[in-house]
Amino acid sequence: HIDCSDLDHMVVSSAYGKMRSRGFKETRNYKNGDHIIIAWYNNSTKQCVKTTEKNGKILSVNMNSDQCR
């Protein structure tokens, strides 16, 4: 299990770089109003994490998402 809660309120370019370096791959992304939601999946840990972005910053990190597939 990889903790990604440190990405909360981080600038998205840094946060997404950290997600990739931790072995996560983007599996889905969609817009909800002015929010961009991305689902990330880590094949090694079978972990699904959802990030919500607004205005270039991470608003929230959902560590237990089931929306990766």
Question: Residue 10: which residues within 8 A CB-CB, separation 6 or more?
Answer: 18, 57, 58
Taking the C-alpha atoms of residue 13 and residue 15, their distance in angstroms, rounded to an integer, is 6
pTM: 0.92
Q: What is the pLDDT of residues 5-52, one digit of tens each?
A: 999 999 999 999 999 999 999 999 999 999 999 999 999 999 999 999
Q: How many CB atoms lie within 10 A of CB 69?
A: 8
d(CA 35, CA 27): 17
Residue 47: alpha-carbon gap to chain centroid? 11
Contact (CB, 8 A) for 28 and 39: yes
